[in-house]
Amino acid sequence: MCVDPRTTPVAERATVHLAPLPGTNVALMNALLHEIVRNDWVDHGYVAANTVGYDELQRRVAEFPPERAAAICGIEATDIRTAARLLGTAERLLSTVLQGFYQSHQATAASVQVNNIHLVRGMLGRPGCGVLQMNGQPTAENTRECGADGDLSGFRNWANDSHIADLAQLWNLEPQQIPHYAPPTHAMQMFRFAQEGSLKMLWITATNPAVSLPELRRIRDILTQARLFVVVEDIFLTETAELADVVLPAAAWGEKTGTFTNADRTVHLSEKAVEPPGSARSDLDIFLDYARRMDFRDKDDQPLPAWTDAESAFEAWKKCSAGRPCDYTGLSYDKLRGGSSIQWPCNADNPSGTERLYVDGKFWAHPDYCEAYGKDLITGAPLEPTEYRAMNPYGKAIIKAAEYVPAHETPSNDYPFALITGRTVYHFHTRTKTARAPQLQRAAPEVWVEISRADAVRLGIEDGDHTQVCTPRGTITCPVRISAIRDGVVFVPFHYGYWDAPDPRNHHRAGNELTLTDWDPVSKQPIFKTAAARVLPSASPKPYPREA
């Protein structure tokens, strides 16, 4: 089963392909759960023993028969029932979730409903069953484990005083030196603070917000403020680096040593193969140099952090991870060199790693242990510890129901299309590496807009025609590709920035010129897949090659 407004290769091979309107994923998921509950495709023993929240879910999804969801999503009720039967009667069930949910309206609420399907069906912790809430790249898993996304290291809970005390002892600091008086400040909020002038320095590492964040005109305005000091640490002179006050040249993956972890928790060791060019240094060396120059100290006046290279940093991380879900204490560089494919938790109890989680129906959800107490799926307001403890005193898996609310920006007479942005297989992120690979660049050299045949006929547009795609925030110019995307939806890949453009000052190429400044209230991910747009024919200055 595939859920995607576009007819991708996966959708073409799916038993059932559902193509909902962007921004309606929660309505669709509630309808699928409605059918699973109504037909009693529920493992009641598993639910009773291992979960809380089923009764609330039952009440919520009762409001979403397939006919209601079909009207919201613009799909057939019979297709919803067919898909629900497939999910509800499967003997094994594996789900993968990625940016189509994460970067759309009600992102967390929709993703949680995928978890709910597995919980009510008891499809976790056994062969062929599980949920892969996927990351865009392996290092995204590491940032979550280590706390580099603003949360606390080792999946610790910033609202749990004992977790703060544990980290303070580990790092030899006073607890008040570890910020935990409010939820972590996310990237979109940081840019808002910078826009308002209350944040006066940004250090941007290994990302390119001048192409990858929404509403790029606003992002450029923020980054070029005289009152904001911008440091960029990257391997290429990206669009963001061009706007920086200081650029720190960084080493690429083959020029440094370190570990990375896949979405299935498999830890790999990546060894340095060549020296970095020129004055480039690894991120670790840059951060340690900065720490020494700032003379950061622990409470015994010793250098902070205490480690000096990649392996000593890994040993420190092992201590930090001890006893937490991502326990690395049984790993070492030597052990990883022997195979480099070991899944955490790897510790004294699991010296060879752990192939499968939740085998015994146990979850990392006890109030004294959990990473977070949860948030309201509509407002993002965090639950109080006492609320969580009352709801889930024994640490079971939480079945969290979600209310559907319409997207903030929907198609209108002036902007009749729903715009989604995304990726092509030939490029990664903002093309800083892939566009320098001649074969990949030749395969997908330019941005395009994908539109359905019926919409193209209505607009008098033919395949390859030059067009303008407009939203209330900006306009890009690109050729049309007529495809099997659903009617009323257009797709633009977001990769294409300006570092290799004939005129980098002509900002009519990047997909994120069009997207809106909005984010999911829980995950804080920007919303790239729910915007209103129009498509206008335009005189084409040259023919555009198709993607290979």
Three-state SS at 16: coil
Q: What does the block give as tokens for 132?
A: 């892969």
Q: What does the block give as tokens for 75?
A: 């799909």
Q: What is the pLDDT along the chain (548 residues), one digit of tens a residue?
A: 999 999 999 999 999 999 999 999 999 999 999 999 999 999 999 999 999 999 999 999 999 999 999 999 999 999 999 999 999 999 999 999 998 999 999 999 999 999 999 999 999 999 999 998 887 666 788 888 998 877 899 999 999 999 999 999 999 999 999 989 888 899 999 999 999 999 999 999 999 999 999 999 999 999 999 999 999 999 999 999 999 999 999 999 999 999 999 888 999 999 999 999 999 999 999 999 999 999 999 999 999 999 999 999 999 999 999 999 999 999 999 999 987 689 999 999 999 999 999 999 999 999 999 999 999 999 999 999 999 999 999 999 999 999 999 999 999 999 999 999 999 999 999 999 999 999 999 999 999 999 999 999 999 999 999 999 999 999 999 999 999 999 999 999 999 999 998 888 889 999 999 999 999 999 999 999 999 999 999 865 544 455 54
Phi, psi of 121 (to 5 degrees): -95, -5
Please report which residue ranges of 16-146 form alpha helices under DSSP H.
Answer: 25-38, 44-50, 54-61, 66-73, 77-89, 99-102, 107-121, 138-146
pLDDT at position 502? 85
| Cis preceding linkage at 138, omega within 30 | no
| Cis preceding linkage at 276, omega within 30 | no
pLDDT at position 500? 92
State the DSSP H helix or E strand holding residue 261, giving kind and residue range, or none if neither. Answer: strand 258-261
CA–CA separation, 497 vs 124, rounded Å? 41
Torsion, Cα 334 337 338 339, to 10 degrees, reads 140
The amino acid that residue 237 corresponds to is: L
* Helix, strand, coil tally for the chain in percent (to 5): 35, 15, 50
Residue 425 CB: number of other CB atoms within 10 A?
A: 11
Q: Is 92 in contact with 15 (CB distance < 8 Å)?
A: no
Output the DSSP codes for 209-220: HHHHSSSHHHHH
What sign does the CA torsion over 180, 182, 188, 189 have?
negative
pLDDT at position 149? 78
Phi, psi of 410 (to 5 degrees): -120, 160
CA–CA separation, 175 vs 166, rounded Å? 9
pLDDT at position 548? 45
The single-letter DSSP state of residue 384 is P
User: Which CATH number is correct for 138-343, 3.40.50.740, 3.10.180.10, 3.10.580.10, 3.40.50.720?
Assistant: 3.40.50.740
CA–CA separation, 209 vs 493, rounded Å? 15
Tell me which residue has tokens 């995307």: 485
Q: Nearest CA to 534 among 418, 391, 398, 366?
A: 418
pLDDT at position 547? 54
Q: Nearest CA to 119 among 43, 65, 64?
A: 43
Q: What is the pTM of this model?
A: 0.94
Q: Is 492 in contact with 419 (CB distance < 8 Å)?
A: yes
For the domain made up of 417-537, give the CATH fold: Barwin-like endoglucanases (2.40.40)
| Residue ranges matching CATH 3.40.228.10 in the chain | 2-134
CA–CA separation, 280 vs 249, rounded Å? 5
For the domain made up of 2-134, give the CATH fold: Dimethylsulfoxide Reductase; domain 2 (3.40.228)
